[in-house]
């Protein structure tokens, strides 16, 4: 296992800036499972108990002992997994790009950017698939926090009640964690079902012809943020599949600002992603004689984890 210092020796700062600066498009994994930066591959965090939610006899007569509450916490160890990818770029392509640049050709190929965009997209999709699988797995949720919709209860059915379902789920979460859920995450299919649902449309102005907008849905469902996962992946048969399937997830997601150190797991968040600081990063390109190519690499050490399974609610098959 390489140390952090050894890893940094192989890091290319210019390409890393490019890699970190690229947007993830419709990737939403980090918005549901926010980053929790760490310096080591393994870190132990304290997960506190429910002492804050209990009622105590705090009345005190003069001279008598003050009520003392012992806080229980569970130390959990979180580790990260390493994911790496390499993109070979033939030297002939680089040669052509260099000649185009010398001739001031406006549409010359920026080889480094092509390699880093490709690496970034591959790493990002892999992460999105992992979080999507974790967040849509009923086993990630507490008992009573999963609703499988079928037939007349689907949100695409005339009798489907998307608003009633989401608001009821919000109360289930609130009564477990003491906070209202603040994020509603839709797959592409679920978003279509929710925005055109008959009950949802009953809250819209009578003059509105189209489906509900995201801003309207925030008000109707009483959530601060709505995310739509449009990402797809191509299976072995060349067929596109939705990363987030046919699911909707209502959750409480705390703000974790790693730049200020304002991170607290006292917030009952549904989940988070342990990420090694500085990741993903670009490796220093190297030339491989056998391929006659420059090889551009990128590495991402992270692992998504469910923290509080009572802080979210899963709707299956809304469409």
Q: Which domains does the chain have, with CATH numbers?
A: 8-51+72-316 (3.90.1690.10)
Predicted local distance difference test score (pLDDT) of residue 18: 56
Range 183-198 average pLDDT: 97
Predicted local distance difference test score (pLDDT) of residue 20: 58
Predicted local distance difference test score (pLDDT) of residue 211: 95
What's the distance, Cα to Cα, between the start and end of the chain in Å? 46
Q: How far apart are CA 185 and CA 118, in angstroms?
A: 26
Query: In which region does residue 178 sit, left (phi positive, over 0), alpha (psi from -120 to 50) or beta (all else)?
Result: left
User: Does 77 or 257 have the greater pLDDT score?
Assistant: 77
pLDDT in tens, 265-302: 567 899 999 888 888 888 888 888 988 888 888 999 99
> pTM score, two decimals?
0.80
Predicted local distance difference test score (pLDDT) of residue 73: 62
How would residue 240 be classed by pLDDT, with cut points 50, 70 and 90?
Answer: confident
Predicted local distance difference test score (pLDDT) of residue 316: 98
Q: Is the pLDDT of residue 196 over 70?
A: yes
Predicted local distance difference test score (pLDDT) of residue 105: 40
Q: How far apart are CA 282 and CA 265, in angstroms?
A: 30
Q: How far apart are CA 103 and CA 191, in angstroms?
A: 49
pLDDT in tens, 106-154: 444 567 777 888 888 889 899 999 999 999 999 999 999 999 999 999 9
Q: How far apart are CA 283 and CA 296, in angstroms?
A: 7
Q: How far apart are CA 302 and CA 305, in angstroms?
A: 10
């Amino acid at each position: 296992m390489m140390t952090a210092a050894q890893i940094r020796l192989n890091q290319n700062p210019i390409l890393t800036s490019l890699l970190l600066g690229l947007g993830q498009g419709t990737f939403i994994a980090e918005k549901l499972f926010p980053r929790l930066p760490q310096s080591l591959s393994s870190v132990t965090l304290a997960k506190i108990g429910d002492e804050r939610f209990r009622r105590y006899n705090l009345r005190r007569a003069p001279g008598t002992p003050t009520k003392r509450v012992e806080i229980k916490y569970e130390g959990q160890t979180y580790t990260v997994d390493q994911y790496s990818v390499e993109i070979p770029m033939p030297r002939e392509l680089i040669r052509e790009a260099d000649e185009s640049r010398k001739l001031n050709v406006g549409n010359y190929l920026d080889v480094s950017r092509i390699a880093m965009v490709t690496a970034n997209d591959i790493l990002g999709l892999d992460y999105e698939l992992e979080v999507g699988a974790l967040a849509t797995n009923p086993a990630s949720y507490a008992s009573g926090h999963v609703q499988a919709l079928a037939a007349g209860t689907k949100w695409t059915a005339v009798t489907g009640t998307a608003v009633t379902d989401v608001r009821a789920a919000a109360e289930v979460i609130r009564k477990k964690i003491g906070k209202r859920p603040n994020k509603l995450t839709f797959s592409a299919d679920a978003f279509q079902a929710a925005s055109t649902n008959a009950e949802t449309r009953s809250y819209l102005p009578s003059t509105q012809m189209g489906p509900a907008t995201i801003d309207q849905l925030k008000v109707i469902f009483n959530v601060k943020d709505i995310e739509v996962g449009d990402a797809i992946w191509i299976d072995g048969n060349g067929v596109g599949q939705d990363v987030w399937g046919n699911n909707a997830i209502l959750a409480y997601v705390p703000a974790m600002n790693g730049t200020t150190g304002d991170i607290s797991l006292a917030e009952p968040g549904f989940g988070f992603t342990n990420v090694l600081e500085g990741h993903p990063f670009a490796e220093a390109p190297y030339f491989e004689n056998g391929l006659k190519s420059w090889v551009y690499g990128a590495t991402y050490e992270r692992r998504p984890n469910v923290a509080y399974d009572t802080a979210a609610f899963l709707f299956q098959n809304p469409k």
